[in-house]
Amino acid sequence: MERTDPQYVNALMAEDSVYWALKNKIKLMGGTEFTLDGCEYMGDIMRDKARNIAVMKGAQARITTLFMLRAIHSLRYHLHPQGSIYYFPKKEAVENFSKTRFGPLIADNPCIKIHLKNTNSVNIKRVGNSFLRLLGASSTVDIQGKKDSTAVRSEPADEAIMDEFDLFNEAIADMIPDRLLNSEFKLMVWLGTPTIPDFGIHKKFDSSDQKFRMIKCRACDSYTCITEEFPNSIGYQRDTTHEKYKPHLACIKCKKEIFPTDGEYVAKYPSRYDPKNPTEGISGYHVSHFITPN
Three-state DSSP class for residue 278:
coil
**For the residues 124-147, what does the mean pLDDT come to?**
69
Please, where in the chain does CATH 3.40.50.300 lie?
12-210+272-288
pLDDT tens column, 167-212: 999 988 999 999 999 999 999 999 999 999 999 999 999 999 999 9
pLDDT tens column, 27-53: 998 789 999 999 999 999 999 999 999
pLDDT of residue 66: 94
pLDDT at 80 over 70: yes
| Of 272, 267, 263, 269, the residue nearest 292 (C-alpha) | 263
Three-state DSSP class for residue 139:
coil
Per-residue confidence band for 59, with pLDDT thresholds at 50, 70 and 90:
confident
Given a contact cutoff of 8 angstroms between Cβ atoms, the answer to whether 280 and 268 are in contact is no
pLDDT of residue 146: 43
**For the residues 227-246, what does the mean pLDDT come to?**
82
Three-state DSSP class for residue 234:
strand
As a whole number, the mean pLDDT across the chain is 89
Q: If you average pLDDT over each of 82-96, 116-130, 183-197, which comes out highest?
A: 183-197
pLDDT tens column, 142-154: 333 444 445 565 6
pLDDT of residue 91: 87
pLDDT of residue 285: 98
pLDDT of residue 154: 64
Range name among 16-30, 146-160, 263-277 with the lowest pLDDT average: 146-160
Helices (H), the chain: 6-15, 17-23, 41-46, 63-76, 91-97, 103-107, 110-113, 150-153, 170-175, 200-206, 226-229
pLDDT of residue 241: 61
Question: Which class is 12-210+272-288 in CATH?
Answer: alpha beta
pLDDT at 214 over 50: yes
Q: What is the pTM of this model?
A: 0.90
Contacts of 52 (CB under 8 A, 6+ apart): 187, 188, 189, 281, 282, 283
pLDDT of residue 141: 40
Alpha-carbon distance 45 to 48, whole Å? 5
